């Protein structure tokens, strides 16, 4: 079974600071080369992205689709060994219940240790990436953790507020106007926490904290953990409603509060706009107008 270690003070630091964890996924047969090849062979459509990038620069304009296919996992993995590739196999727990049991055990042990925390929509994904590959500066919408399994990588994590995370940028991410790109400046690195990940280490970080990653000179395998809580959902709804107000109506939002009457109006707007598709139509109309 899974061995998963969390800090003794996790209840004090959860969602406020970076939370280091330990795990033994590297010893789990579900993450062997053969198991990963089988996973892709049986679920080629679970491979959400096979991207390539310029490994010498930190510029999201250099992130692009590789044009490679997941149809032949062996040749894909050998391309990853020699190329500049980043392969994202998403929500593997939805394909094979054994992976879902792992992410459920991980999140159960965190929920048990953090009073009031009740996570749902838990997903585990697998990242396989080339020596020296990069993931450029970005922020993820759900709660996130990264469990490192093979190779070495360095991650820079930045505070989840201005100027590192600009509200206007992040609203575009949440309303799906852009992918996860947000603006980066090298001066932000002064505020970054830099962590070298080796097999058996991992970390969770506070909601939406921007980050970027540079692989060491080794093939990398990691697992990503995504989750939601009532609080992450409220932040999503407020950011989404603020994004609609700003992008469709040109109104600069004044609040990110997740409580009170303003929150509930925004939650209703976000729900209606997403349910009906009105949100994306309003944004498109404003862009075209
Ligand atoms: Fe990320």
CA of 261 to the centre of ligand 1 (A): 32
Please tell me the distance from the alpha carbon of residue 96 to that of residue 186, in angstroms, as a whole number: 40
215 falls in which pLDDT band (50, 70, 90)?
very high
How do residues 20-49 score in pLDDT, each as one tens digit? 999 999 999 999 999 999 999 999 999 999
Distances (CA, A) of 79 to 66, 70, 76, 118, 175: 11, 11, 5, 40, 34
CB atoms within 10 A of CB 8: 7
In this prediction, residue 180 carries a pLDDT of 65
What pLDDT score does 258 carry? 86
Phi/psi zone of residue 16: left (φ > 0), alpha (ψ -120 to 50 degrees), beta? alpha
Residue 60's pLDDT is what?
A: 87
Domain ranges of the chain: 4-228, 232-288
Q: Which long-range contacts (CB under 8 A, 24 or more apart) does 60-65 make?
A: 60/136, 60/137, 60/138, 60/181, 60/184, 62/136, 63/136
Q: How far is the CA of 57 from the centre of ligand 1 (A)?
A: 18
In this structure, are residues 240 and 279 in contact, taking their beta carbons and an 8 Å threshold? yes
Distance from C-alpha of 192 to C-alpha of 206, rounded to nearest angstrom: 13
Q: Inform me whether the pLDDT recorded for 260 exceeds 70.
A: yes
State the average pLDDT over residues 50-55.
94
Q: Ligand 1 centre from 210 Cα, in Å?
A: 8
pLDDT band (50, 70, 90) for residue 248: confident
Average pLDDT over residues 73-87: 94
- State the distance from the centre of ligand 1 to the C-alpha of 144, rounded, in angstroms: 7
1-5, 29-33, 281-285: which is most confident: 29-33
What number is the average pLDDT over the span 144-152?
97
Model confidence pLDDT, tens digit, residues 152-211: 999 999 999 999 998 888 888 888 766 667 889 999 999 999 999 999 999 999 999 999
Closest CA to 132 of 74, 202, 58, 72: 58
Taking alpha carbons only, the member of 58, 15, 49 closest to residue 183 is 58
Distance 222 CA to ligand 1 centre (A): 12
Neighbours of ion ligand 1 (CB under 5 A): 140
- Compute the distance from residue 285 Cα to the ligand 1 centre, in Å: 30
Cα–ligand 1 centroid distance for 88 (angstroms)? 11
138 C-alpha to center of ligand 1: Å?
6
Specify the pLDDT at position 116.
Answer: 93
Q: Give residue 136 CA to ligand 1 midpoint distance, Å.
A: 9
Q: What is the pTM of this model?
A: 0.90
Mean pLDDT along residues 257-283: 80
Phi, psi of 166 (to 5 degrees): -85, 130
Residue 279: cis peptide before it, omega within 30 degrees of 0: no
Top CATH class of 4-228 equals: mainly beta
Burial (CB count within 10 angstroms: exposed 0-12, middle 13-18, buried 19+), residue 242: buried
Please tell me the predicted confidence (pLDDT) of residue 177.
Answer: 67
Ligand 1 centre distance from Cα of residue 214 (Å)? 12
In the reported structure, the alpha carbon of residue 19 is separated from the centroid of ligand 1 by a whole-number distance in angstroms of: 15
Output the pLDDT for position 24: 97
Checking if the pLDDT of 237 tops 70, the result is yes
Within 10 A of 90 (CB to CB), how many other CB atoms are there? 19
* Local confidence band at 1 (pLDDT 50, 70, 90 cut-offs): confident
* pLDDT at residue 285 is higher than 90: no
How far is ligand 1, taken at its centre, from the CA of residue 198, in Å?
A: 17
Distance 135 CA to ligand 1 centre (A): 8
Residue 289, pLDDT above cutoff 80: no
Look at the chain and count its residues. 289
Looking at every residue in the chain, the average pLDDT score rounds to 91
């Amino acid at each position: 079974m899974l061995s998963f270690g969390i800090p003794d003070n996790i209840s004090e630091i959860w969602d406020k600071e970076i939370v280091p964890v330990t795990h033994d996924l590297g010893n789990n047969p579900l993450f062997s080369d053969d198991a990963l090849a089988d996973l892709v062979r049986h679920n080629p459509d679970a491979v959400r992205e096979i991207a390539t990038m310029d490994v010498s620069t930190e510029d999201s304009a250099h992130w692009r689709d590789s044009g490679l296919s997941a149809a032949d996992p062996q040749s894909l993995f050998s391309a990853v060994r020699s190329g500049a590739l980043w392969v994202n196999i998403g929500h593997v727990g939805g394909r094979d219940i054994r992976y879902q049991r792992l992410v459920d055990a991980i999140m159960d042990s965190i929920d048990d240790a953090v009073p009031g925390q009740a996570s749902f929509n838990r997903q585990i994904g697998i990242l396989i990436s080339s020596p020296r590959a990069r993931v450029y500066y970005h922020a993820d919408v759900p709660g996130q953790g990264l469990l490192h399994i093979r190779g070495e990588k360095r991650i820079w994590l930045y505070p989840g507020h201005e100027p590192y995370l600009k509200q206007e940028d992040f609203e575009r991410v949440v309303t799906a106007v852009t992918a996860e790109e947000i603006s980066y400046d090298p001066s932000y690195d002064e505020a970054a926490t830099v962590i070298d990940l080796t097999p058996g280490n991992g970390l969770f970080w506070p909601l939406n904290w921007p980050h970027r990653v540079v692989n060491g000179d080794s093939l990398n395998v990691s697992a990503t953990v995504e989750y939601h809580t009532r609080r992450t959902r409220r932040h999503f709804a407020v950011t989404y409603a603020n994004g609609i107000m700003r992008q469709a109506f040109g109104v600069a939002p004044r609040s990110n509060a997740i409580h009170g009457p303003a929150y509930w109006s925004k939650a209703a707007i976000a729900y209606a706009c997403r349910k009906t598709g009105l949100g994306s139509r309003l944004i498109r109309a404003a862009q075209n107008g």
